[in-house]
Amino acid sequence: MAKKKNITESNLIDFYMDYVLEHGKAPHSVYKFAKDNNFEEASFYAHFGTFKALEQKIFTAFLHNALNLLAQNEEYQSFDARNKLLSFYYTFFEILTANRSYVLFALGEGNKPINSSKALTKLKSEFSDYIKSLEIETFNIEQEQIEKIQQRTIVETAWLQLLYTMKFWMDDTSAGFEKTDIFIEKSLKTSFDVINTQPLKSVIDFGKFLFKERMQMN
């Protein structure tokens, strides 16, 4: 049988996700992976140097898909930063849900902390760029060094918030992951209220929600 030609990055991602879900582990070698999917080994290396690089690309592909969908929505373009980020979260987690089996495999292996996963390295970089593009307003302090610290803090906090939300979603057993939707809404509202120095009600509300969830889990 003739080898498949014109293998794309998307093809390789599909082949890889199918493989790990069917076998419960990563392929043993690029050679075997290429042979099993009937394409030349060189086609893999035209796009990725290693399986680790491919794994990282999968999560940035989820991000790109979410942003591409949002870019097609005219209403999204008129949103403020809070609502843009809220729309992103809902869209991104819909994509994660459509690929839940793979995400649980990639991030749940060995019960390692999600923030230690190498698969999310590229996602962190590109998500951080997205957060910067939102130009989230901070305290109006006319001091360049402090403003830089504020912006860096926002980016790092946003990343930790995304990780925590992903972990909450991975553990969520509610129908349609409705608790994750509530978590997203309350956590983002709290974050922006803190930035806008109006935190108390949202912090208490979000705290009650987290306490209730932890009590139920225990």
Q: How large is the average pLDDT for residues 133-151?
A: 63
3-state secondary structure of 39: strand
Going from the C-alpha of 31 to that of each of 37, 39, 41, 42, the distances in angstroms are 10, 10, 6, 9
Give the model confidence (pLDDT) of 2-17 as tens digits: 678 889 999 999 999 9
Q: Considering the chain, what is the average pLDDT of its residues?
A: 87
The 10s digit of each residue's pLDDT in 50-65 is 999 999 999 999 999 9
CA distance 37 to 20: 13
Q: How many CB atoms lie within 10 A of CB 1?
A: 4
Model pTM score = 0.84
- CB of 218 within 8 A of CB of 171? no
The residues, any chain, with a CB within 8 Å of residue 177's CB and separated by 6 or more, are 93, 97, 169
| Residue ranges per structural domain of the chain | 9-45, 55-217
